[in-house]
Amino acid sequence: MVQAFEPAYLKLLRSGELKKRVEEAYKRLETCDICPRECGGNRRESAKGAVCRTGERAVVSSFNSHFGEEAPLVGRGGSGTIFFSWCNLKCQYCQNYEISQLGHGREVEPEDLAEMMLRLQAMGCHNINFVSPTHVVPQILAGVVIAAEAGLRLPLVYNTGGYDSLKTLALLDGVFDIYMPDMKYADAEIARRYSKIEDYPRHNQVAVKEMYRQVGDLLTNDRGVALQGLLIRHLVLPNGLAGTAKIARFLAEEISKDTYINVMDQYRPRYKAHELLDVDRHPTAQEYEEAVRLVEEAGLHRLDKRGPRLVWILR
Ligand code: SF4
């Protein structure tokens, strides 16, 4: 338990480092290598050639106080979510594809992002939860500077699909208190087939190691609300496609047996799932129970205890 808390980014704000990170991040948009796809286009001029189809401005679909997130993020006041449109992943079963693949939302300036953060703080949320943040790291950092100067004091959550580069995570070191990456696949070929992405497991595992190095195991206050640390999301896919046993072993052996993990049963066949036979159904209860058993058998014991959610956003 941790009682006294100051969000990480305030120290970097005071030293001037946070503003330097913003400059560095925007510079990298000019030959974009923000994520491991390394598309190389100049996003300050246009979104041409960007797999994430995002230019200089972030696109936001919505922001609100969310009660469907993991228990330590929700507490009593909710998690202050900001949902970014577009994505660096191309999950063929995405249940949120209108936002992630069709880009529904509106372009915003960093000042708009800062205002959203401050409004969520005023609403009583426990954190600012950036959903699908990977492709808009520069824009987020710029918004955090403005919000922090105007009084933002909540911990930040990096709620990512888990395809993140070490170089970009270095920009986030000392900024984000909480990392919540997906671990979607343990097999590169399965990741390529279902999310159109190369070498997901390697990039994902290296990223998770770095996130853990930065923030450690999940710490909560005396009301069970998350202040700092790593949470893992693992969505159970039908036919064992998510590679649960390997992911659980990786976490237990190479991260920590105290890793907090949400083994999710919310998968529904959406978007293009009906064109892909192996993911064209909900996982059975037995498949989900088997996934939980594998996670526990690996030695992980901090499983998110909430029941199935009625509302869920899947990348
Ligand atoms: S952030 Fe977007 S443009 Fe940049 S490398 Fe990733 S997918 Fe490509």
What pLDDT digit, counting tens, does each position of 275-296 carry? 887 988 899 999 999 999 999 9
Residue nearest to ligand 1 atom 3, measured at CA = 50
Q: Using the mean position of ligand 1's atoms as its centre, give its distance from the Cα of residue 55 in Å.
A: 10
Condensed to tens digits (0 to 9), the pLDDT of residues 136-162 reads 999 999 999 999 999 999 999 999 999
User: Six-digit token pair at 164?
Assistant: 């993140």
Query: What is the structure's pLDDT at 271?
Result: 87
Ligand 1 atom with the shortest distance to the CA of 32: 4
Ligand 1 atom with the shortest distance to the CA of 37: 5
Best substitution site from 135, 140, 168, 197 to test ligand 1's pocket, by max atoms within 8 Å of Cβ? 135
d(CA 172, CA 12): 11
Q: Is the pTM of this model over 0.75?
A: yes
Query: What is the structure's pLDDT at 309?
Result: 42
Ligand 1 atom with the shortest distance to the CA of 35: 6
Query: What is the structure's pLDDT at 1?
Result: 47
Q: Using the mean position of ligand 1's atoms as its centre, give its distance from the Cα of residue 299 in Å.
A: 36
d(CA 249, CA 304): 18
Residue nearest to ligand 1 atom 6, measured at CA = 35
Query: What is the CA 187 to chain-centroid distance, rounded?
Result: 20
Q: Using the mean position of ligand 1's atoms as its centre, give its distance from the Cα of residue 302 in Å.
A: 33
How far is CA 88 from each of CA 52, 109, 244, 299, rounded to the nearest angstrom?
5, 20, 23, 32
Q: Using the mean position of ligand 1's atoms as its centre, give its distance from the Cα of residue 200 in Å.
A: 15
Query: What is the structure's pLDDT at 86?
Result: 97
Q: Give me the phi and psi of 57, to 5 degrees please.
A: -100, 140
How far is CA 124 from each of CA 64, 76, 118, 231, rounded to the nearest angstrom?
11, 9, 10, 22
Q: Using the mean position of ligand 1's atoms as its centre, give its distance from the Cα of residue 34 in Å.
A: 6
For the chain, residues with pLDDT lower than 50 are 1-2, 307-315
Pinpoint the alpha helices (H) of 70-165. 71-74, 97-100, 110-122, 137-149
Residue nearest to ligand 1 atom 1, measured at CA = 135
Residue 91 · residue 315 · CB < 8 Å: yes
Give ligand 1 pocket residues (Cβ under 6 A): 32-35, 37-39, 43, 50-52, 88, 135
Query: What is the structure's pLDDT at 11?
Result: 97
